[in-house]
Structures are given as structure tokens and as C-alpha cells.
Amino acid sequence: MWEKFQLKLYIISLSFIFCFSVIYIFGTNALAIPTEGLKVGTTYYGGHYDQGSNKWFIDNHNQCNRIRSGEFSAASLAAELTKSCNDDPGVGYLNDTPLHNRVSYAELSNDYKNPDYSALGNLHAGAKLQIQYRGRCLVAEKLDVGTGGPSVNGYHRSLDLWWQTARSLNFHGLDVVTIKSVPGTTPLTPIGQSYACDTLGNQTEAVQQYTGQGMADNSGTAEEQITGNKKAQKKTKKPIRKPGLNTSGNSYVLGSNSTTIPPIPPINNFHETLLWTIATLVVFTGVPAAIYKMHS
């Protein structure tokens, strides 16, 4: 009798473990970022760089409204206002956290036509990445999600940089960056700063402060040169940025569900999934075995 009960427990346990593994490995689009880094297609949002005037323009509701109310000036951000200020609400996907002066990024979707906001494996809110671009690096945190768009220079479009983060890297449009996972204890790079790094992402000099509006010259990728300036590209980048936001013409309107996305548990890659699966296996098979031994 006891042997039959134990056999049922084992079957139930193994079924649970199988379902658990399938859900976490395939259902969450788990992505293990290799130690040498992962190249991903990248864009920016909330502001844009105009190559003709060599200036940055603020293009999001939050910062524009605060500037217009007199809380701070566009000049204090070494930028100017756009007339529309409608590229983005300027707040994160959890609790509408303002992105003003935050070194942050948005995780985009595997398929921009069916958004899942999981192009990097559904990273948890606040997940830190080292982002490397043309010999410059910084550490930023996930504070937002987005729909995404077509691939960039052959790489899946997975990352969207907040405009102040992009400026710190001298990133001016659609291009490819290299990302690396870093421990949660790694400090964020101060706003407006980046550091020189080698191809492996190792820091090669002290952090440098951003001081000018245009920084160094950046002619952009071949795609940018063909298409024109970044403003023209943005219109096809992400018609709806995040859940809870609806578009009316070109203006974003906060929806009723804009603050209801729950935090994502930090199970982000295959290695963590494997550890959880092993732990589950031990609990659901080891415990029945121990009980059986005690009664035998």
C-alpha cells in the first residue's frame, strides 16, 4: 500500500518538475547573457539628438511638464524642448516612476507585433546591465519596457535606452550595443557619465563627466545615414510603448492599467532555472523517499 502511495508521489513530483522546467525555460523566453557579452539592436527614447544642430531635444511628458512648470530648466539638462513632447510619458513601467536623471533602459519584446516585453529573458525590475558602445561603458538599470521594432543591422532589437543614458554613451540612434550582466550590488554609473572600456567591457580609465550638448561627432550607422535623422525613424519605432498606454493621434494618454504590472521575480536565465529545478527535484522526491525509509 505504502509503495503505491510513494509511486504516485514520484509521478506527481516528476510531472510538476517537467511542467516547471517547460514554463520557465520556454514560457518566459529565458535568455542567458554570455559572460563575454551579448550584442543587441538598440534604440533610445524620451528625447532625441539632432545631428544638424548638434543638440539634444527633450521629448517626453514628464520632463517637459516639469520644465514648463519651472521646476528646472532644459538648459540644466544641456538640452532643448521639442514642441510636441510626445515620444514617451517619461515614467517607468512600475508605479509610474519618473525617469528624469535615471541611468536606465527598457527591455523590448521578442516580437513587436505581439509584445511580451521579454527580449532579454524577462529581466526583473531594477536588473542591472553593463552597456558597451564604441569603447564607452556604463551600468544602467531596467526601469521600463517597450514594444520594440524591426531588427537593427541584423541584430534583434532588444534594448531601448532612456535618452540621458544614450547621451552618456554618445549613442545617437539605431545601432548595436554589447550588454553584460553585472551583480546587483554593482553601483550605477552616475548620470551623464561613462567610462572607457575594452572589447571585454573592462574599465580602462576613470569615469568621465558629460559636459557638452553634442559631445563627440557621431555620424551614425549606415541605416541612419540612409533613413535621415532620428526623428523620422522614431515614428515607426514603437506605436505603443508599454501596457496601460494608448495612443490618440501622436499623443500618449495614460491608461487605467499603467501602474498595475507586477514585479517580475528574478529568475532570468537558464542557469537559475536549472538550480530551481534541481531544488524542486530534491524536495518533491527526497522528502517522500525519507518518509518511506522511516516507515520501512
Instruction: Show pLDDT as tens, one digit a residue, over the chain (296 residues).
Output: 656 666 666 666 666 665 555 444 444 444 568 888 999 999 999 999 999 999 999 999 999 999 999 999 999 999 999 989 999 999 999 989 999 999 999 999 999 999 999 999 999 999 999 999 999 999 999 999 999 999 999 999 999 999 999 999 999 989 999 999 999 999 999 999 999 998 677 777 766 665 443 333 333 333 333 233 333 333 333 333 443 332 222 222 222 222 223 333 333 444 455 566 666 666 666 665 666 566 66
**Assigned C-alpha cell, 100:** 528624469
Instruction: For strands 104-107 and 136-145, give the pairing.
Output: parallel
State the amino acid at position 79 in one-letter form: A
Burial of 26 per CB tally in 10 Å (0-12, 13-18, 19+):
exposed
Dihedral over alpha carbons 157, 159, 160, 164 (to 10 degrees) = -140
- Could you give the 3-state DSSP secondary structure of residue 94? coil
| Cβ proximity of 48 and 56 under 8 Å | yes
**How much is the pLDDT for 207?**
67
What single DSSP character describes residue 255?
A: -
Nearest-angstrom CA–CA distance, 283 and 33: 29
Query: Which residues in 245-283 are b (16+ Cβ under 10 Å) and which e?
Result: beeeeeebeeeeebeebeebeeebbeebbeeebeeebee
Interhelix angle 2-22/287-295, nearest 10 degrees: 170
- Could you give the 3-state DSSP secondary structure of residue 220? coil
**How much is the pLDDT for 1?**
60
Handedness of CA 128, 168, 109, 29 (dihedral sign): negative
Dihedral over alpha carbons 70, 76, 81, 85 (to 10 degrees) = -70
